[in-house]
Structure 1
Amino acid sequence: ALGFGESPGPLLFDTYEMVGGLVRAGFTRGQAAAVVAVVRGRVEARVGEVRGAMLTKGDLENDAYLFRAALGELRMEMQMTRKNDQSLLESQSAAVSREIESLFQRTNDQIANLRSDIAIEMNNHRHDSGLVMKGMDMELHELATKYQMLMGEMKTDIEAIKLGSIRRGLITVVMTALFLSAVFWGPRMVKRVKKEEVEAVVEPVADDVVDDVVDDVADTGVGYRDFSHLDIRYQPTTGSDDWIDATELASEEGDSQTSSTFWKH
């Protein structure tokens, strides 16, 4: 129920229509009015809660202004932050670029140093290799010289051995010839020496004795060459007891000695 002088306020729905509908539905008029009052109270309470939560136009405009101001500040902050970040990024990128350039320069310097070091090492290695090759060539030359010297010495030794062998062969041949000469001609030389000794110590026999000997030989019919069957001996005049066989002397003399002189005591 409303107090005196109070306005019912704006109606949110048609209460009279709702009361009539409830009466027609079987409610009494008092029950229908009570139900409508309860429903009206609940609706007004809910609407009040909603209105309390809702903003007014001024509040909305104020909030919109504040939002726009905050948005502008945020935009400014974002722009400043972006500029700062951009400046920082630019400075960092410049620092990175400088570092890259410095690194590139250091890399180029290191590469140049490495190239120079490699070139020096290659030159040293080439020089050392040349020295080693020269040493090997010298050693090979020395070995070749030693080999030639050894070959020359071997050839000299071989020639000396050949000459020694030839010399020994010649000596052997000469000694063999001398030995054979001594074997074959020795007895004859001894007999010749004996004959010369006899001729030196005996005196000549008279011619008539020789003639008698020749006649005796002729009577035998064997010829003056063969005196082996005659026993004709002569003793030297020196008084030696050795008798010389005249037949041996005659046979050694041959044809040229048939008229030689014999000796007797």
Structure 2
Amino acid sequence: PIETVLQMPSPAESAAEEKKQKPPHLQPPPYVHHFDTYSLVQDLEKGNFKYGQSVELMKAMRSILAENLGVARDGLVSKSNVENETYLFRAACSELKTEIQNNRKGEMEKMRAQRTQLQHEVDILTQKMTQGIQSMKDDLKGLFDDRKMNVKMEQRTMESRIQELNYKITVTLNSDARSDVESMRWVLTRRAALALVIVALAVLGTLRYTAYMTQMQEEERKKLAQSH
């Protein structure tokens, strides 16, 4: 009933009584009304709600409001906590930034050292390659000169062999020609001697035949002369 509600003690009196009954560390916080419950009940009754319904609606609204306020209070953070969290966050960010800068600086130094080492190795390899190319050029030049000299020596040897072969061929041809000439001379001499012998025999035969014919003519003349 409304009389019971009106006769409810104030939050201060309820807190004082509870403090007397409970130890200090178990005393709950004082009950606080966040709105005028009596005026709300009267307004609900004016809105065609019964008294019991108005009281229950008021209690329900008070419970919902208290629950929402508790949730909001639990979710809220005090200014000091926010400042502490902000300070810690900024300190962590500053520390992280410093660490990142140090790591980046260390990585840059490491990369610079690696680049210097790589450049040094590249210079060494370039120098070795240049020396190798120069040595290869010298070797190739030496091989080319040796080959050129060998070719000249082979050419000279070939020319000397050709000259020697020409000399041998010339000597052989001369000796063969001389032998052929001697053979031809001997053959011609024999043939000339044989021809002279034949001519001499022919001349002798002719002379004998002429003498014989002359003798025969003389005998015929003698016979003719004797017959006359």
Alignment TM-score, normalising by the size of structure 2: 0.67
User: Where does structure 2 lack aligned partners over 5 or more consecutive residues?
Assistant: 12-29, 213-217
Q: In the alignment, which residue of structure 2 is the partner of 1:256?
A: none
| Aligned alpha-carbon RMSD (Å) | 3.7
The match for 1:140 among 144, 162, 182 is: 162
Q: In the alignment, which residue of structure 1 is the partner of 2:32?
A: 8
2:150 alignment partner AA: D
- Once the 2 structures are TM-superposed, how far is the Cα of residue 48 of structure 1 from its aligned partner? 2.6
- Once the 2 structures are TM-superposed, how far is the Cα of residue 102 of structure 1 from its aligned partner? 1.0
- Once the 2 structures are TM-superposed, how far is the Cα of residue 43 of structure 1 from its aligned partner? 5.0
Give CA deviations for 1:73-123 in whole Å, capped at 9, x if unaligned.
111111211221121112111111111111111111111211111121111
- Once the 2 structures are TM-superposed, how far is the Cα of residue 128 of structure 1 from its aligned partner? 1.4
Give the 3 Å change call, closer, same or farther, for CA 169–58 of structure 1 in structure 2: same
- Once the 2 structures are TM-superposed, how far is the Cα of residue 40 of structure 1 from its aligned partner? 4.7
After superposition, residues 1-265 of structure 1 pair within 5 angstroms as 4-5=10-11, 6-10=30-34, 16=40, 20=44, 28=50, 30-31=52-53, 33-35=55-57, 37-38=59-60, 40-185=62-207, 226-228=221-223
Partners in 2 of 1:36 and 1:161 — Cα distance?
168
Give the 3 Å change call, closer, same or farther, for CA 23–139 of structure 1 in structure 2: farther
Partners in 2 of 1:168 and 1:91 — Cα distance?
112
What percent identity do the matched residue pairs reach? 17
Give the 3 Å change call, closer, same or farther, for CA 87–175 of structure 1 in structure 2: same
- Once the 2 structures are TM-superposed, how far is the Cα of residue 7 of structure 1 from its aligned partner? 4.6
User: Where does structure 1 lack aligned partners over 5 or more consecutive residues?
Assistant: 191-222, 232-265
Partners in 2 of 1:140 and 1:175 — Cα distance?
51
Larger Rg: 1
Alignment: residue pair count: 194
**Structure number with higher relative contact order (C-alpha < 8 Å, ≥ 6 residues apart):** 1
Partners in 1 of 2:134 and 2:148 — Cα distance?
20
From the two aligned structures, give the one with the greater helix fraction: 2
The secondary structure found in structure 1 opposite 2:222 is coil
Give the 3 Å change call, closer, same or farther, for CA 183–39 of structure 1 in structure 2: farther
Alignment TM-score, normalising by the size of structure 1: 0.59
- Once the 2 structures are TM-superposed, how far is the Cα of residue 41 of structure 1 from its aligned partner? 3.0
Give CA deviations for 1:124-153 in whole Å, capped at 9, x if unaligned.
111111111112222222222223223323
Partners in 2 of 1:106 and 1:181 — Cα distance?
108
